[in-house]
Amino acid sequence: MATYDFLFNALGLREWCNAHAGEKITGLAALLKKTKGESNAWHETPFPSLNALNDACGAIPRSGDFTRMLETGFLNIRGGLKLVLDPLTQPLSWMLDGALTLFGAIPWFILVPLLLIAALLVSRSVQIVIFMIISFAILLFVDHFEMTVETLSIISVCTVICVVVGLPIGIAMSKSDRVQNAIIPVLDMLQTLPTFVYLIPLIFLFSITEPKLYGIAIILYAIVPVVRLTNLGIRLVDRDVKEAADAFGMSDMQKLLGVEIPLALPNIMAGVNQTIMMSLAMVVIASLVSAPGLGERVLQGINNNELGVGFIAGFGIVLIAIILDRVTKAALSRVNAAHH
C-alpha cells in the first residue's frame, strides 16, 4: 500500500486513479524495497512529490514525464526556431570563418610583430611586450602557435560582438529602472547556468559543424560583465556632474557621449576585461562542439589520456589568459590615471 493512498481514497478519486493509471516501470530499488517490506515509520514518510503521489495514483504524472514533455515541446518548435534564427545568426558564422581564415593566412613573422605593436599601443608597457615575445616564442617552438591564433581570432570576434551588443543594453538599463528590472533576471540566469548547459539547446538547433553554434554559446556566456558594469558605471556618475551638463544645455545624447560614458569608462573597461576572460574560458568548453584552437588539444588530451598534449595546450591557454588580462588591465590603469 502506497503512503498517500488514503488521500485519494478520502477524496473519492480511487476509481479515477485506477482508470487512468498507465503501466508502471518499477526500478530495481523499488523492487528491493518491496521484497524487504515497506516501513511505516513516521520518519520515513516521503514528501508528497510527483513520484510519491504516482505510487498512490497512477493518473498523476511522474517527474520524468515533465522532462519528456519539455523535450517533446522543444523538438516541436525547433523547426520554427531554426527557420527564424538561421538567417539572423548566419553573419556570426561568416565573421568567425573570416577571422579564422584571415588570421591563419598571415605568416607568423608578420602576425607576431603586429600583435606586439597592438599590445604596446594599448598597454604602453614594455614588460608586457617582453612577456608576449617569450610566450609566442614558446608556442612557436612547440608548434602550438597556429592553434593559439585560432583561439585568439574566436575571442576577438566574440568580444567585439559582446561589446557592440552589451554596451547599448547596459546604457538602456542605466536610463530606466523598468528595463533594468526586466533584464537583470536574464543576466542572473546567464551568469549562473553551468557552461555545458549553454550547448544543449544549441546542439538541437544548429549543425555541429557551424561556427555560430559555439559562437552563440561564447557570446551568451561572456556578455554579462560588460552589460552589468556599463549599467553600474553610468549609474555611478555623480549627480552634480549630470546637473551641470543639464545646466549647459546638453541634450541627452551629448550628455551620454560627452559626460557619462567617459566617466563610466573605467567600469566599462573592467567589464570588457572580464568579458575577454570569460570568452577564453568558454572557447575551451566549446571545443566539445567543434570550436578550433587550443581547447581542441585539451579535449584530445582528456579523451585519449594524453597528459603531455593536454598539459601543453593548457599551458598555452594560461599564457593567452595572462597576456589578455595584463594588456586590458594596463589599458584600464591608463584610463583610471587619465580620470584622476
**Residue 46 has what pLDDT?**
78
Q: Which of 211, 332, 212 is nearest to 275 (CA)?
A: 332
- The predicted-structure confidence for 166-216, as pLDDT tens digits, reads as follows 999 999 999 999 999 999 999 999 988 888 888 888 888 888 888 999 999
Domain termination site, one of 61, 91, 108 = 61
pLDDT band per the 50, 70, 90 thresholds, residue 267: very high
Cα distance between residue 138 and residue 132, in whole Å: 10
pLDDT (0 to 100) of residue 31: 47
Contact predicate 233/266, CB 8 Å: yes
Which pLDDT belongs to residue 42?
54
Q: Average pLDDT over the chain, rounded to whole? A: 87
User: The C-alpha cell of 101 is what?
Assistant: 581564415
Give the residue-averaged pLDDT of 270-299: 91
Alpha carbon distance 339, 335 (integer Å): 6
Query: Both 45 and 83 in a single domain?
Result: no
pLDDT in tens, 119-149: 999 988 899 999 999 999 999 999 999 999 9
Q: Identify the domain boundary among 23, 40, 61.
A: 61
Q: What is the pLDDT of residue 40?
A: 54
Confidence band, pLDDT 50/70/90 cuts, at residue 314: very high
- Domain with 37, as residue range(s), is 5-61
State percent of the chain over pLDDT 70.
91
What is the C-alpha separation between 125 and 127, in angstroms, rounded?
5
Instruction: Tell which wins on pLDDT, 105 or 73.
Output: 105
Is there a single domain that holds both residue 81 and residue 57? Answer: no
pLDDT tens across 86-112, in order?
899 999 999 999 999 999 999 999 999
Cell of 280: 577564453
What is the tens place of the pLDDT at every residue in 5-55? 878 788 888 888 877 665 554 454 454 555 454 555 556 677 877 888 887
What domain count does the chain have? 2
Residue 67 within a domain: no
Whether the Cβ atoms of residue 167 and residue 175 lie closer than 8 Å to each other: no
Angle 102-226-264 (CA atoms, 0-180°, nearest 5)?
115
Query: What pLDDT band is residue 293 in, cutting at 50, 70 and 90?
Result: very high
Average pLDDT for residues 58-66, to the nearest whole number?
Answer: 80
Q: Do 130 and 270 fall into the same domain? A: yes
What pLDDT is stored for residue 21 in this prediction?
66
Residue, of 274 and 208, whose pLDDT is higher: 274
CATH code of the domain containing 205 = 1.10.3720.10
Distance separating alpha carbons of residues 55 and 4, to the nearest angstrom: 8
Q: Are 249 and 215 contacting, i.e. CB atoms less than 8 angstroms apart?
A: no
Pick the more confident residue, 156 or 39: 156
> Are 81 and 49 members of one domain?
no
Same domain, 195 and 231: yes
Task: Mark whether 253 and 301 lie in a shared domain.
Answer: yes
Closest among 150, 142, 194 to 320, alpha carbons compared: 150
Q: pTM to 2 decimals?
A: 0.83
